[in-house]
Amino acid sequence: KNNIENKFYVYDFKNVAGKDHGIYLLYYPYGTKLSHYESHLSRAAEEGKIIEIALEPYNGMQMVYNDPDYLIRLAKDMEAHDCDFMLRFANEMNSDTNGWYAADANAYIEAFRYVAKIFKKHAPSVPIVWSPLWYPPDNIDMYYPGDEYVDYVGISSYQSWLSSVDPMGEDEDRRRWSQQLDFFYKKYGYKKPMIIAEGGASYRNPWTWSEDLSDYAAYQIQDFY
């Protein structure tokens, strides 16, 4: 247990991956105090890493209006901290697998703008990230909050093994993961800087969870970089 508690991804992940990264993601349940993650944040500051805070309102968008003092305090705490941050609010809003999914895109946009205004006032050094899931692609545009509220466009990009689309009928997934990025850059890259907010490739068959796809994942990740 002590060994696990003393592990910090800004130290250890680069040794596992063989590649260092400038930004690290931290899932952040709405209502949590920044001090809860102080040990990770202080080490990120020591290493000069940016922490991407994925602020997630698990019980829906209404949470942001119930306690505005929380948002103000969080913004001020992030602004005052030695660590550099990016704020990614209600990520993957276009997917109904999330508790904060709003079929009414206007409700999401209003909440996003509300949060962005508070952070721009109380944490002007913290960039605001708008970050949909790459799938489904046909509803993404309707959730865009507007240029004045978005500093970066992000993408949750995953390559999930799907051999049924093999045009050669040999039960292989021949798609190229990075094509997801092409789609996003064409949509938003001309007006906003972009980040890969999170992502991964299948290392197990997602449909049976039995087949080892480590070689496939390694190839996709290498090609992606």
* Residue matched to tokens 């991964």: 200
pLDDT at 206 exceeding the cut of 90: no
Give the lowest-confidence range in 81-85, 119-123, 126-130, 168-172.
168-172
Give pTM, 2 decimals: 0.90
- In this prediction, residue 1 carries a pLDDT of 39
pLDDT tens-digit map of 45-72: 999 999 999 999 999 999 999 998 999 9
Cα separations (Å) of 204 from 95, 133, 207?
A: 22, 21, 9
- In this prediction, residue 6 carries a pLDDT of 61
Residue 168 has phi, psi (to 5 degrees) of: -95, -5
| b/e sequence 37-63, b meaning 16+ C-beta within 10 Å | beebbebbeeeebbbbbbbbbeebbeb
Do the beta carbons of residue 101 and residue 95 sit within 8 Å? Answer: yes
Sorted by sequence, the CB contacts under 8 Å of residue 63 that are 6+ apart come out as 30, 31, 57
Q: pLDDT higher for 167 or 93? A: 93
Amino acid letter, 48: G
pLDDT at 2 exceeding the cut of 70: no
pLDDT at 161 exceeding the cut of 80: no
CB-neighbour burial class of residue 3 (10 A; exposed 0-12, middle 13-18, buried 19+):
exposed
